[in-house]
Amino acid sequence: MQAMQMLRDLAQRSSDKAVENLGQLQRQQQDAESQLGQLQRYRDEYQRKLHDSLTQGVSSSQWRDYQQFIGSLDKAIEQQQRRLGEHQTRVESGKQHWQGERRKLNAYETLHTRRMREADRHQARHEQRHSDEMAAQLRRRQHESGHHH
């Protein structure tokens, strides 16, 4: 029984750790999503500024600077999208890990419950046998004392 309890406790700790880990991975994914959103908003804003200044006329060197800056923003957005993809993959594997730990814990809890029920049934049978024996002894005594009179 103690070994089972230890295994259950270990499984519980592993499951708790997996949940904690999953929470952390999800927060990292959310951070990556918000960074990506910021980059995209910044790019859109910059693109609008570029469009506005084009209507007012820009020099070819300003145009080149704009284009380079937009290009570097696009690269940053691409990298952030890749990072986000990696975070999503980590979250997914974190979920699978946690579900595996949860299944293990459930299996131990089911086993534990089954063993407790078996122990209870065994105890109940033992008590029933004991009370049957007591009743049989009492009947014998009554029977024996009834014959002596």
State the pLDDT at residue 5. 84
pLDDT tens-digit profile of 99-127?
A: 999 999 899 889 888 988 998 999 999 99
H/E stretch holding 26: helix 2-56
Unique residue bearing structure tokens 């049934």: 121
Residue 140 makes CB contacts below 8 A (sequence gap 6+) with none
Handedness of CA 69, 75, 79, 80 (dihedral sign): positive
Length of the chain: 149
pTM, to two decimals: 0.65
Here the tokens at position 31 are 């951070």
Cα distance between residue 85 and residue 79, in whole Å:
10
Domain range summary for the chain, segments of one domain joined by +:
2-118
pLDDT-above-90 percentage for the chain: 56
The structural architecture, per CATH, of the domain 2-118 is Orthogonal Bundle (1.10)
- Residues 88-103, mean pLDDT to the nearest whole number: 95
CA 117 distance to own-chain centroid: 29
Cα distance between residue 124 and residue 65, in whole Å:
86
pLDDT tens-digit profile of 45-68?
A: 988 888 887 777 778 888 888 889
Expressed in percent and rounded to 5, the helix, strand and coil fractions of the chain are 95, 0, 5
